[in-house]
Amino acid sequence: MSTLLTLCLLGTSGAEAADNNFYQDTRHGWFWYEDPPPQPEEPIITPEPAVTPRLIPSLEHYTIDELWNLHPDDFQQLLNGLQKKAVQTPDEQNIMEYLTMQDLARRKALAYTNATMYVTQKYGELFNVNQVYPLAGPGINARVQIQQQEISQTINQAGENHALLFFISPGCGFCEQQSHILAYFVDKYGWQIKSVDINATPNAANRFNITTAPTLLLIKKGQDDYMTVANGVISLTELERKLYRAIRYLQGDTTGDNFLMYEFQKGSAFDPTSILEKGEQPWRQRQ
């Protein structure tokens, strides 16, 4: 009896619990929606990258003609690969292959050098700079003399409508040394040089964006443009060279792309844009 009673009681309580759940669920209604419970995320497994077998270069399938005519990029790649193989495994075969490629590279460089010398000698008026920049001793002496004559003549002629501003500051030892060099310059060319104290006349310094002393500035009469000649101490020779270039720039004789060119080099291989003015096409077959 006790067992049967227990089963009956359990059955009754189970039915009552089911009824209670039913009446509680009826509040959701027919169209009630609930988000499904979140599913556990599956771990992302990244496949390991496939290992590409390293290609081992070899000259086994090449002829000398094929190696000679390889594209330079392919030639360099093969040469580097053979070098690494010979270093990794320095046996007789690997070293012979690498030395063969190295010898081919030397011979191709020699062939290019020979062909270049032939072209530059045949078309010397286009590519040879020796006519205005000789390397032989007498030619060098002549070039230096021509340059110095051109520098001196340009500076002498520009002294009438050009002047130098010499920016200094009190107690500046560099300024004192530069002033001695400028004294030689004045004796040689008779130029006007005006000293400007950047501390006493800050407006003048600000006008020309001068922040350090000594500074040499070139100005031209009736022209707003100016040109810095030097910052710091420079020798008389360097002063002449820099001043010559600054004068020619302010006069419009040079631009940025031919700033270092001398007048006697105009139209030569040292004149960068002369090839544009001539309108030549030197790569075309010449008769």
pLDDT digits (tens, 9 = 90+) for 160-200: 999 999 999 989 999 999 999 999 999 999 999 999 999 99
Measured distance CA(111)–CA(72) in Å, rounded: 14
pLDDT digits (tens, 9 = 90+) for 218-274: 999 988 999 999 999 999 999 999 999 999 999 999 999 999 999 999 888 888 888
pLDDT digits (tens, 9 = 90+) for 12-70: 455 455 555 555 555 555 555 666 777 777 778 777 776 667 788 999 999 999 999 99
pLDDT digits (tens, 9 = 90+) for 214-226: 999 999 998 899 9
User: Of 239, 136, 118, whose CA–CA distance to 185 is shortest?
Assistant: 239
pLDDT at 49: 74
SS (H, E, C) the chain: CHHHHHHHHHHHHHHHHHHHHHHHHHHHCCCCCCCCCCCCCCCCCCCCCCCCCCCCCCCCCCCHHHHHCCCHHHHHHHHHHHHHHHHHCCCHHHHHHHHHHHHHHHHHHHHHHHHHHHHHHHCHHHHCCCCCCCCCHHHHHHHHHHHHHHHHHHHHHHCCCEEEEEEECCCCHHHHHHHHHHHHHHHHHCCCEEEEECCCCHHHHHHCCCCCCCEEEEEECCCCCEEEEEECCCCHHHHHHHHHHHHHHHCCCCCHHHCCCCHHHCCCCCCCCHHHHHCCCCCCCCC
Measured distance CA(27)–CA(83) in Å, rounded: 83
User: Of 286, 273, 265, whose CA–CA distance to 122 is shortest?
Assistant: 286
pLDDT at 1: 46
pLDDT at 227: 94
pLDDT at 7: 42
User: What are the structure tokens assigned to 152, written together?
Assistant: 């001196």
Q: Which residues of 188-203 are buried (b: 16+ CB within 10 A; e: fewer)?
A: eeebeeeebbbeeeee
Which residues are within 8 A (CB) of 119 and not within 5 positions of it... i.e. 6 or more apart? 127
Q: Taking all residues of the chain, what is their mean pLDDT, rounded to a whole number?
A: 85
